[in-house]
Amino acid sequence: SDNRIAAIGPIQESLQQELSNVKENIESTEFTTHDGMKTWKVDNISEKMAAAQSERQNSVYSQPFYSSPAGYKMRARLYLNGDGNARRTHMSLFFALMKGEYDSILKWPFNHKVTFCLLDQSGQNQHVIDSFRPDIKSTSFQRPTSEMNIASGIPNFFPLPMIQQDDNNYVKDDTMFIKIIVDFADVPKSILPFIFNLNPGLPSHVQQCLINEEIQKHDTSNK
């Protein structure tokens, strides 16, 4: 009977691992988007910040998201305590292309503007918005040959002291929200605040209609 009990241990471990994998797959599917936009909920900020400061874990990744059902596979990478020259001064935010199922029919190098937005949770809409355009000579934006390309983006995204202040507008209940938009339509910069102020509870096709209307208004007023 002792032998039987001993044999159950590894089986139980294996089942737990399998269960954990299934849970992870369900969660990543549940939070997957296919429109080039991602609202990333980053929770347990204090714990993750402590891990970054002690260098136990310098960065965290968002769940993968896609530009379309047959599009680019992407994710964001956040260094809460900064990366490189921004270490200990700024939060660094990067974008990484991942190997996807449809890469062989997509256009490379990847050449679309990426916009990050740290959402203001106070209702004052003082969102922190910054964008970058890919350097198409960089290996980061070529077709991925490994699971994920080297992440590239904005090292000095947001000053750390502002995140670490008590009662700041960006971390509430130990959680921050980061929105990532890959811009396939060259949206004018002046439209970005409108986009980030849209109610994320609206279905994505409704959001897209509102964005298109706003762009048309912008184009008309600039004629």
Which of 155, 153, 178, 172 shows the shortest CA–CA distance to 88? 155
Q: How far is CA 33 from CA 28, 39, 203, 220, in A?
A: 10, 9, 12, 31
- Please give the pLDDT value at position 8: 65
Distance between first and last Cα of the chain: 85
Tell me which H or E stretch contains 209: helix 204-221
Task: Give the confidence band of 34 by pLDDT, cuts at 50, 70, 90.
Answer: confident
- Please give the pLDDT value at position 1: 52
Where are the domains positioned within the chain?
32-184, 189-223
- Please give the pLDDT value at position 126: 93
- Please give the pLDDT value at position 104: 97
Amino acid in the structure at residue 204: S
| b (16+ CB within 10 A) / e for 7-44 | eeeeeeeeeeeeeeeeeeeeeeeeeeeebbbbbbebee
- Please give the pLDDT value at position 75: 97
- Please give the pLDDT value at position 200: 86
What is the DSSP secondary structure assignment for residue 173, as one 8-state letter?
T
Which of 72, 80, 76, 69 shows the shortest CA–CA distance to 39? 76
Which residues sit opposite 118 in a β-bridge? 128, 178
Q: Fold for domain 32-184? A: 2.60.210
- Which residues, including other chains, have CB under 8 Å from residue 83's CB and lie 6 or more apart? 58, 59, 92, 94, 155
For residues 25 and 72, the model is more confident at 72
Please give the radius of gyration of the chain, using alpha carbons only, rounded to the nearest integer: 20
Task: Please check the confidence at residue 23 and state whether its pLDDT lies above 70.
Answer: no
- Please give the pLDDT value at position 18: 76
Q: How far is CA 94 from CA 7, 131, 175, 184, in A?
A: 45, 11, 19, 18
Q: How far is CA 36 from CA 42, 64, 130, 145, 160, in A?
A: 19, 11, 16, 21, 28
Pull the structure tokens for residue 59. 């960065």
Which of 86, 65, 68 shows the shortest CA–CA distance to 153? 86
- Please give the pLDDT value at position 20: 64
Task: Give the confidence band of 166 by pLDDT, cuts at 50, 70, 90.
Answer: confident
- Please give the pLDDT value at position 141: 98
For residues 13 and 7, the model is more confident at 13
- Model confidence, pTM: 0.82
pLDDT in tens, 188-214: 888 889 999 999 898 888 888 898 899
Cα separation of 205 and 188, whole Å?
A: 19
pLDDT in tens, 100-154: 999 999 999 999 999 999 999 999 999 999 999 999 999 999 999 999 999 999 9
* Residue pair 198/119 in contact by the 8 Å Cβ criterion: no
Which residues sit opposite 117 in a β-bridge? 129, 179
Cα separation of 135 and 111, whole Å?
A: 8
Which range among 16-30, 42-56, 137-151 shows the weakest confidence by mean pLDDT?
16-30
Over residues 18-41, the mean pLDDT reads 71
